[in-house]
Each structure stands twice: as C-alpha cells, then as structure tokens.
Amino acid sequence: MPKILTVVGARPQFVKAAALSRALNNYLMEEVLVHTGQHFDENMAEIFFRQMEIPEPKYNLGIHSLSHGAMTGRMLEAIEKVILVENPSVVVVFGDTNSTLAGALAASKLHIPVAHVEAGLRSFNMKMPEEVNRILTDRISDYLFVPTETAERNLLNEGFGKFDVQIENTGDVMYDVALFYSRISAERSVVFKVLPKDKPLILSTLHRQENTDNSNKLKSILEALNELAAEYRIVLPLHPRTKKILEQQKIKLNFDPIEPVGYFDMVELLKNCSFVITDSGGLQKEAYFFKKQCLVIRDETEWTELVGLGYNHIVGSEKQRILEKAGAIKNTHLDFKEKPYGDGNAAEKIAALLKEI
C-alpha cells in the first residue's frame, strides 16, 4: 500500500485536503500530512483543521511572513528533509501556492513521484505568482488531476500529451467538500449569532497582491463596497495582510469588516448572501457551488467556464464597473444546472488512482 505525503499551507488547501484525507482513509492508505505554515493565523489555519476534522499534521514547518523567494526556498529545504525521513511513494500537492511549488520541487529532485491536484488551471497572466507556481508544478508532476475539461485542454495545448505524465479528469475536490459539509454547516456555524440579517448580504474577500499592493486598485474596490453598503450588509472577512494595509493607509470603511471565519461560517455566508465579490480563486467556485453569482475583482480568472456560463463576471478593480455589474445582476435568477466540476466524487477517484501507484 503506498504511503502518501501531502503538503498543505493555505486555507484552500486545508479544505481540499479534508476531502482527500477522508478518501485515503477509506482505502486504508497511510497519509503523512505536512503543514508548511504559510497560513499561520488561528482563524486562517488551525480552525480549519479542527472544524473539518483533518488529521493533525505530523509536521508543521512554521514558515511564513517572508518574501516569495525566501519562503519557497525555506519550504523546499524543510520539505526535502521530511521526504528523506518518510520516504513516501508519492507527494501530493494542491493548487498554486508557494507551498505547492516547494513540495513539488522537493519531491521531483529526490525522484519521488508528484501528484498535482487541481492541475491545468491557467489565468494566462504571468505576473501572478500563482500562475508561475501552477505552471512549474504541472511541468514537474507525474500525475495531473485536472478538475475540468478546460484544464485538461490547457495541458494538451501546452504539449503535455507528449510528456511521460498521467492526466486524469477527476472533477473538483472542492465540489466534494461543498456537498459534504453543506449538510452540517448550519448546526456548526456561529457567524449569524453575531451578524444581523437586517439587509441583504454581499460576501466579499480581498487579499491578492495585485489588488492590495496597488493603492489605486485597493481604494477603488473599497469605494465600491462602501457605496454598496448603503443597500447591502457587506460581509468582508478581513485577511490579516489586508487589514494591516488598510491600517497603514488609513482607509475608512462604511461597514465593519469581520475577522477571518472558519469553513462552516463561510458556507453559511454563501448560502445566505445575495452574491459574491472576490479576488479569491476558491471562492469564485464556491459561489457557483451554492448557486450565487460572483463579481471577480481581477482582470482574468482561472475558472473561465464560469464566465462562459454567465455565472461569474470579471469586473476588475474599477469602481464604476463593479457598481454597474452589481446593479445588473441584482434581480437576476439563474438555474445553475450545468456541472463543469464533476459529480462530487473527485477525491474518491484520486484516492483510487493513488492506490495503484
């Protein structure tokens, strides 16, 4: 039976790991979980492990709050040491963070097979650190588990069909998670005990460097949210890094942001919101899972199929575009009948494939 070494470091990866860990356990496979520490705040990390009953990481590397190069380098060094001790059959990485790339590099250089969950995604913006991470990770991976037909087509267009790799369209593990935890989120969520429902809700997140490090973009997005606050209750779980920038720039808000929330609270916010405004890749999909339209405050997205289906709308950071699209979708009702992300059994498919390694 293969030993699986799973590398996680950021909130979306904890969520994905919850689904895969459960499936690996069903197959009685040994899993060694490594947490790089990339997200270290209590509400950004540990709460997810507790709430989602993810196995306690055997290794917590505690690497965070560094530049991209320093963070990735230290993770690479630390993960290499773990691999040498554990000697896994395969290293599993998720998504597109520095933790993803470091885990894949460490395994590849030690000639340990790499399995990339959520492979093949492309925003086609090489200025995004995530785009660099995902492209490099795909190229050095042996097993590419793609969530959509679009992602598979991206890889084939880049010549991966000629490489010695295995490409499998498994569907999206995030959809597995949404289906599984939505059944119990209401009884485990606490967010509406402190958050009134006196207005319709807009759920928003704002954390990408392309927005937070550009003061003009940041102010424009927040001006739009401030204006929408007259009609909606803006629920903005504030990423620690974004919070620090707002304090430094003395940016005033017409609403009260909230602290980062756990997964069950996020599910209940998605269930109860009118629509979503976000620069998060994961939340764009989660909005779709819960049949909510999403304004993407970026200039591109990895989830092009949702834009094509008319559920997600790329609005960038310009205040007027955000407000106009918010007004346009206000009273629209879509059926969300398509299933671009599979049937909710992606983790089971991935576990079955890993079992054969």
Select from 4, 3, 13, 69 the least CA-distant residue to 36. 13
Classify residue 294 by its DSSP letter.
E
Query: Is the distance from CB of 287 to CB of 188 less than 8 angstroms?
Result: no
* Per annotation, catalytic residue among 39, 207, 239, 313: 207
Rounded to the nearest 10 degrees, the angle between the axes of helix 11-26 and helix 281-289 is 60
- Cβ neighbours, 10 Å, residue 254: 13
Instruction: Assess whether 207 carries a catalytic annotation.
Output: yes
Q: What is the C-alpha to C-alpha distance for residues 322 and 319, in angstroms, rounded to an integer?
A: 5
Alpha-carbon distance of 285 to 279, in angstroms, equals: 11
CA angle 175, 79, 263 (to 5 degrees): 30
User: Across-strand partners of 144?
Assistant: 116, 167
Of 214, 283, 216, 341, the residue nearest 296 (C-alpha): 283
Longest dimension (CA), the chain: 58
> CB burial class (10 A; 0-12, 13-18, 19+) of residue 169?
middle
Pick from 99, 85, 90: which is nearest to 39 by CA? 99
H helices of the chain, in order, are 11-26, 46-51, 68-86, 98-109, 129-139, 149-157, 173-182, 185-188, 191-194, 209-212, 215-228, 240-249, 263-272, 281-289, 304-308, 319-329, 346-355
**What token pair was written down for 352?**
């079955």
Which residues participate in catalysis according to the annotation?
A: 207
